[in-house]
Chains A and B, each alone.
Chain A
């Protein structure tokens, strides 16, 4: 069964993941969509990802990222969480199906890492998202 793809909505009603994608050249944004669609169809637990989809390590264990490189090998990253569980649990989260939820995105120069503060920002969004019943997504 294919998973749904959803975007996290913050308490102000903004969609950080969509805002990030809309700020990218369309060709890059489409590549992100292609990866998300393939992951959703696979579905995620069975998908190798071809280097575009990866489970993250500490401090972001439990999160996944879509990795697309742009001009000058700039690294563009879309941070996601997987929503899965029993039908009862999914219903509690306001979801009809398992889902990939896009939280936000970030860009970094070639061969650099995100700072602790940037990772913390992702974690804060993720924790806020996971505390919501039902989930606030579109």
Chain B
């Protein structure tokens, strides 16, 4: 058995249960959204030529903490930090309801 097969088999067993599959998909969607927001903010920061340290100064945060947020994701970003970063970059965070097809 190749490395990784055990996990794949184990996950497949869980996902055979519709209720567990829903939890699995919901968790992925939640993570993907936070990940996408952080990536967009970082791209925006780069596009306007602002350093991470400058951004940290603008929102009154420790530069190391902002660096971790935008690189390794080593912290759980708080909504007030995200909105402060967006505002400092001239952007805003919105909730969008996807159109039902």
Asked if A96 contacts B11 (CB within 8 A), the reply is no
The answer to the question of A132 belonging to the interface, with a C-beta cut-off of 8 Å to chain B, is no
Alpha-carbon distance between A99 and B31 when the two chains are bound, in angstroms: 20
Interchain nearest-CB distance for B60 vs A (Å):
21
Most chain A CB within a 10 A radius of its CB, from B14, B38, B69: B14
User: If A35-B31, A97-B4, A137-B3 touch, does A55 touch B72 (CB 8 Å cutoff)?
Assistant: yes
Q: List B residues 66-96 near A (Cβ within 8 Å).
A: 68-69, 72-77
**What 0/1 readout, one digit per residue, does chain B (11-37) give for beta carbons within 8 Å of chain A?**
100110101100111011011111100
- The total number of A-B Cβ pairs within 8 Å is 100
Asked if A50 contacts B30 (CB within 8 A), the reply is yes
* In-complex Cβ contact of B14 among A18, A26, A94, A99 (8 A): A26
Asked if B23 contacts A30 (CB within 8 A), the reply is yes
Q: List A residues 82-138 near B (Cβ within 8 Å).
A: 94-97, 99, 137-138
The answer to the question of A81 belonging to the interface, with a C-beta cut-off of 8 Å to chain B, is no
- A38: which B residues are within 8 A, CB to CB? 28, 31-32, 35
**Chain B residues close to A by CB (< 8 Å):** 1-4, 6-8, 10-11, 14-15, 17, 19-20, 23-25, 27-28, 30-35, 38-39, 68-69, 72-77
Extra inter-chain contacts (19) besides given A36-B7, A51-B75, A54-B75, CB under 8 Å: A4-B3, A6-B3, A34-B23, A34-B27, A34-B28, A35-B27, A38-B32, A38-B35, A42-B35, A47-B73, A48-B35, A49-B34, A49-B73, A49-B74, A50-B31, A50-B35, A54-B76, A67-B76, A137-B3
* Pairs A–B under 8 Å by Cβ, sample size 21: A4-B2, A5-B7, A7-B6, A7-B7, A26-B17, A27-B19, A31-B23, A33-B24, A34-B28, A35-B27, A45-B72, A47-B35, A48-B38, A48-B39, A48-B72, A49-B34, A50-B35, A50-B73, A94-B3, A97-B3, A137-B3
